[in-house]
Each structure stands twice: as C-alpha cells, then as structure tokens.
Structure 1
Amino acid sequence: MARRTNELTIEELSVVNTTKVVKEIDFKTALSLFVDDCEIRNLRPQTIQYYKNELSVFYKILKEQDIILSMDTIAKDHIKRNVILYMKEKGLQTVSINTRLRAIRAFFNFLHREKYIKDNPLNDIKLLKDRRKVVETFTKEQLQKLFNQPNLRSFVGVRDYTFMLLLLETGVRVSELQGVCVQDILWNESKLHIRNTKTYKERLVPIQLKMKNQLQKYIQIRGVMETDSLFVTLDGEPMSKRQFQNRVTYYGKQADMNSVRCSCHTFRHTFAKLSVKNGAGIFELQQILGHTSMEMVRVYVNLFSDDVMDKHKTFSPLINLNFRM
C-alpha cells in the first residue's frame, strides 16, 4: 500500500470543516439526548413528560404516513405537510396542534443547537393563529351551587369544600395546590407559601380570616399523618392533580352545571375576575397568580374591569343622537 500524502485534499478538508457532528441520528437516540438535556436544565417532571408524550405522537404521525427518516433528513416540508396539515385533516383543534408544535420546536432547536442536525426544519414555521376565546368563569350563583354540593358530614366533603375555597381565595394552579403542605400555611402572616410553582419561583399568597378558619377546621379533622401534604385521600395518601380535577367535575355534574367548564382552572379565572372587579391592580394580580409576563394579567383586567363599562356610558356614540328606538 502506497504511503499517503500528508496534505489533505479539498474533499478531505471539507469533512474537517463541516459543522455536522452526528450522521443519521434516529428518533429514539435523539429523544433520549433531548430528555437528558431537559433533566440537566432541571425542567419540571410535568414539562419533561409533556415533551415525551407530544414527541412520541409526532413520530407516530410520521410512521402512520410511512415516513421513517433520521432526524437530520426531516425537512420543513415534512413539518408543514405531514405534520401540521395531517393534524388539521384529522380534525385536531388549533390549540392542540400548537401545543404539539411547541414541543417539536423545542426538540429540533436542541438538535440544531447541539449540531446533531445541520438544518432546523422548524425555522420560520409559526404557530397557527387561533381566536382568543372568552375566559370562562363561575358566576356567584354557580359558585353557590358548587359549594352546596360537598357533604360536610364527611371527611371527603369537608376536604373538598376546603380545597375549592382555597382555589377561589388564592387563584393557585392545581399543580401548585397539589404541592401545598401543612407547614406551608403561615398562620401569623396570613399567607400561603407556594413552593411547587410552574416557574420555579416560590411565592407567598395572602389568605384571609375566613380561609384560615376553614383550614383550621379541616386540619383538625385531617389529624396527624405520615405525609405532610395538606390534602389527602381516605387512605392517607396525597391527592393527585387528577383527583382534584375529578372532584370539581363531579360536583359540577351534581349541580347540573352544563354552561361552564367545572375545573380547577376555572376557579383560577374566577379568582382573577372577582379580584379585578373588587379593585385589584395589574401588579397585585401578577404577583399572586405567579405569571412571568403581563400578557394574561392584562387579558383579565381588560375583560373584567368595570371601568370600560362605566366610561362607555359617557362616550357612547348614541348618547346625543335622536334615532327612533
């Protein structure tokens, strides 16, 4: 075998200078690398599970169309035609498509950033435009119906009555409620310490005398247990997010409330509505609700503030017109 020359050819130099590190990375390997990166960045378990679920469905969508490609050969057209249009044809709602696209984008952004793929197929692909729906909230009459449902002669009834009151009093997310422990109630300060937050930023939420009194009654009935979780099952286990949601749904059905979605998150929206109507400002709402941006808080203020309604009485175009009515 002849001795090779030491100087590299133009073709060999192009191999050295290429930015592509891994060739033909398959989905399973890519997903494993992405999940490892999520773990390193200390993302919430719920967020990591969301990525796993949505990306598994993404790969399933491609397989259903007999598209079995390595991640570095998936192109923008695959995303447009074989993912977005495919989901639309299957009748998925815009919000569901956008939820999946966010996960796919995070996945390919990671692969491109770490140079596992040369081109990012999600570049210039935007989320689908969606109509912003009116935020659903409970009316005072509906709240009365809901709170009339729990059987206050039972442990489950007192527990459910208490956690629904706490949802209404604080506007916390159900995932945050799930993480509340007995010692998180700061009795002397009249505050609730929210630790298990979506943003990883712990916060203190005020609670008033009525809420403190109800919590004291519930804790007395709850008794001493091995778990520190505030809300527990009959078996003494911490309640799950699904169990909180199922109880609210159950009481909604019991109250025959079909005109509004009976969910823990509807309590959050209702807290925002009633707080705005009672004079809460945008910064107080942001702090209590734990929003990182003002966008959703502004939506609440714009939707529920009586200021616009009151001022419209003075600037309505019909005021000085003499049309026959």
Structure 2
Amino acid sequence: MIEKQKKVRKYNVGKSSSKTMRSASLDTISGLYERFCNYKQTEGVSQRTLKDYQSHFHYLMKFLDDEDISRKEMTRDVFREYISWMLYEQGLSPVTVNVRLRTLRAFLRFCFKEGYIEHPIHEDLKILRTPQDLIESFTVEEIRQLLSVIDKESYTGFRDALIIQFLLDTMVRVSELVAIRRENVNLDDGFVKLEATETKTRRARLVPLSARTIVILKEYLKETKEFESEYLFLTYEGSPLSADTVRWTLRQIGQATNITKKRVSPHTFRHTGALLYIMNGGDPFSLQKILGHSDMSMTRKYIQMTDIDVKAQHDMFSPLNSIF
C-alpha cells in the first residue's frame, strides 16, 4: 500500500467550518470529498444518496486505515488497489463493488473537472463485469400463498395485504411507498402522484391504479381517516410506516409460508409486477414510465423471463396460431 502521511482528521461531512473545508479541500482526500458532497447537494441529490456517499467514503477510509492522503497521493494505482482489496480481502461481490466504484468514479470525475487533480483517473477505473442472472420474481401461486397467511380481519393484516397489492399494481419503490400522502391519491382519476423529492430520479410521476386497488384503497382511506395523518400508510397507532418496517413485515409474511428460496421484499414485488405486466400484454415503453426508469436498459433487466415464462408466451403467441 502507499506510504501514508500523518493522520489529519476523520471524514465528517457537513460539520466542519468553511475555513477548515477550504484549507482541507486543497490538500486531503477527505476535504475534497466533503466539497464533492456539498456540490452534489447543490445539484439536488436526495438525502438518501448523500447518506450512501458518506457510507461509501467511510469504506474507502477503512482501506486507508482512517488516514487522509494528499491530492498527490490520489493516484490510479491507489484506487485500483482499493478495488482489489474490496474483491479479494473483503470478499465483496462485483455487484457490491460496482456500487461503491460508481460513487468513487463520480468523485474523481468531479476532482478532475474542478482542477484538483491533474489526470482523469476515473476513466481508468472500469465498472466490473457481472453475471447476467435472472432477476428474482414470484409466481402467481406464491403471491396467493403470501396473501393467504395474512389475517385480513385485523387492521395491520388488512393494511399489509393492501401494501402487497399496491406494490404489485403500482411497482413503486418502498421509499416511494412510505412517502405517499393522502392528498397524492386521486381515486377519481385512478392515479397516485409521486413527488419529485421522494423519487430516485428526482422527477415527479403519476402512477396508475387498477380498479381493484381503487376499491380497496377507498375502504382503507375510510379506515385510517380518524388518525388525521397526512401520510397514506400508517402503523396501528397512526404513525407513518418506515421503509424498514415494511421490509420487516414482508419478511415475516414470507416466513409464515413455504417460500424459502426467494427473498420476500418490496423490490421482489416490484420485479414481479413488472414481469406480470409484460406477460399480461403490457408494452415495455409504458412500463418504463410506470417504473420511473430514465432509460430502457434498466427496464429490460426487470422483465427477464424464465424458460417457463417464455414457453407460456410462445404457446399463446406462436406464429402458427394464426395459420392453423
């Protein structure tokens, strides 16, 4: 590993004085990274993204033994060694490494464009190749099993069954789900509005609701009106649900069934909804808009079909069906 200079300070985003930031940003990686995060904040990135940036930087500092390095020590070889350390010493998967690598590349690109480093190091740090595995999704029978173990006579059971149906129908992310307010729900027109501040792409979008979901939502809205909360999905005490609570609840529902080989999570329902949308005759372009993807490449990953799915589609739409 490179020879390190004496320890300057631990990374502490947003808490240093402007004087400290100005002096540190010219000399150390932690100061530069702080300036990078402040710059990203002015671009309007979400708090969740900023939190991820901090987490990724702490992991880099772990590799550096929590010691700052100077701008001159920020070389291509240092960061290649960091990638190797993540892969072979920490045992991280290429997918996980790529998540941290994308943040690192964005940081180094910022440093080069702002003139803090002389060479475009980010261009030499390539995203790792990963296997193109099928994205996990539920079968129709598995969804029925999950719904069957829920006690829909209780408030929490009724709400949990609605959440599963809502996730499948709208294909929203869990962070978007828990941020929905009652005023965002338009049952007359059959849409839910997702605010730009709560979406991953920072763009507002309208998500359509099916007639079945509208019927159950009407009942749920009446049930929760007495809580007088601005949020849609609530605990039995009337507090807004958190994303972690939704994840935990779905895991508990999964454990009550014999579905053991698949992860029962909000994202699996999002994948499943996307696949069923296409299987039922939906087109990928409207699906892309519903999912909130900025390009079609991500949408294609969501609608990968198993061999059984392809066989079923072929049976329905074989060219021979129009001849014989």
TM-score computed with the length of structure 2 as normaliser: 0.83
- 1:57-107, Cα deviation, whole Å (9 max, x unpaired): 11111217xx752134211111112x1111111211111111110111111
Cα distance change of structure 1 residues 271 and 235 upon mapping to structure 2, 3 Å threshold: same
Q: 1:309 aligns with which of 300, 308, 314?
A: 314
Residue 263 (str. 1) matches residue 265 (str. 2): yes
Q: Is the 8 A contact 1:276 1:305 kept in 2?
A: no
Aligned residue for 1:218? 220
Q: Is the 8 A contact 1:277 1:305 kept in 2?
A: no
Where 2:193 maps in the other structure, the secondary structure is strand
Residue 152 (str. 1) matches residue 157 (str. 2): no
Aligned runs of 1:280-319 on 2, under 5 Å?
Answer: 280-301=282-303, 303=305, 309-310=314-315
Task: Choose 1 or 2 for highest CA Rg.
Answer: 1
Deviation of 1:231 after TM superposition, in Å, equals: 0.5
Residue 123 (str. 1) matches residue 123 (str. 2): yes
- 1:182-210, Cα deviation, whole Å (9 max, x unpaired): 11111111111122221122111111221
Cα distance change of structure 1 residues 37 and 305 upon mapping to structure 2, 3 Å threshold: farther
Where 1:122 maps in the other structure, the secondary structure is helix
Where 2:137 maps in the other structure, the secondary structure is coil
Residues in 2 aligned to 1:306 and 1:238: alpha-carbon distance in whole angstroms:
43
Residues in 2 aligned to 1:137 and 1:224: alpha-carbon distance in whole angstroms:
36
Residues in 2 aligned to 1:25 and 1:105: alpha-carbon distance in whole angstroms:
19
Q: Identity, % of aligned pairs?
A: 29
TM-score computed with the length of structure 1 as normaliser: 0.83
Residue 58 (str. 1) matches residue 63 (str. 2): no
Where 1:193 maps in the other structure, the secondary structure is strand
Residues in 2 aligned to 1:84 and 1:111: alpha-carbon distance in whole angstroms:
19
Q: 2:210 aligns with which of 203, 208, 211?
A: 208
Cα distance change of structure 1 residues 191 and 305 upon mapping to structure 2, 3 Å threshold: farther
Where 1:192 maps in the other structure, the secondary structure is strand
Cα distance change of structure 1 residues 218 and 85 upon mapping to structure 2, 3 Å threshold: same
Where 1:223 maps in the other structure, the secondary structure is helix
Superposition RMSD in Å: 2.4
- 1:262-296, Cα deviation, whole Å (9 max, x unpaired): 11001111111111111001111111111110112
Cα distance change of structure 1 residues 71 and 159 upon mapping to structure 2, 3 Å threshold: farther
Residue 192 (str. 1) matches residue 188 (str. 2): no
Aligned residue for 2:8? none
Aligned residue for 2:164? 164
Residue 58 of structure 2 aligns with an amino acid whose one-letter code is S
Cα distance change of structure 1 residues 226 and 110 upon mapping to structure 2, 3 Å threshold: farther
Give unpaired runs (5+ residues) of structure 1: 1-20, 316-325
Q: 1:246 aligns with which of 242, 245, 248?
A: 248
Q: Is the 8 A contact 1:249 1:262 kept in 2?
A: yes
Deviation of 1:305 after TM superposition, in Å, equals: 5.8
Deviation of 1:140 after TM superposition, in Å, equals: 0.9
Aligned residue for 2:278? 276
Residues in 1 aligned to 2:281 and 2:310: alpha-carbon distance in whole angstroms:
8
Of 123-132 and 295-304, deviating more is 295-304
Residues in 2 aligned to 1:233 and 1:305: alpha-carbon distance in whole angstroms:
40
Q: Is the 8 A contact 2:271 2:303 kept in 1?
A: no
Q: Is the 8 A contact 1:178 1:241 kept in 2?
A: yes
Aligned residue for 1:15? none
Deviation of 1:175 after TM superposition, in Å, equals: 1.2
Q: 1:31 aligns with which of 29, 33, 54?
A: 33
Cα distance change of structure 1 residues 156 and 22 upon mapping to structure 2, 3 Å threshold: closer
Give unpaired runs (5+ residues) of structure 2: 1-22
Deviation of 1:27 after TM superposition, in Å, equals: 3.0
Residues in 2 aligned to 1:297 and 1:30: alpha-carbon distance in whole angstroms:
35
Cα distance change of structure 1 residues 71 and 309 upon mapping to structure 2, 3 Å threshold: farther
Aligned residue for 2:83? 84
Residues in 2 aligned to 1:224 and 1:311: alpha-carbon distance in whole angstroms:
48
Q: Is the 8 A contact 1:192 1:207 kept in 2?
A: yes
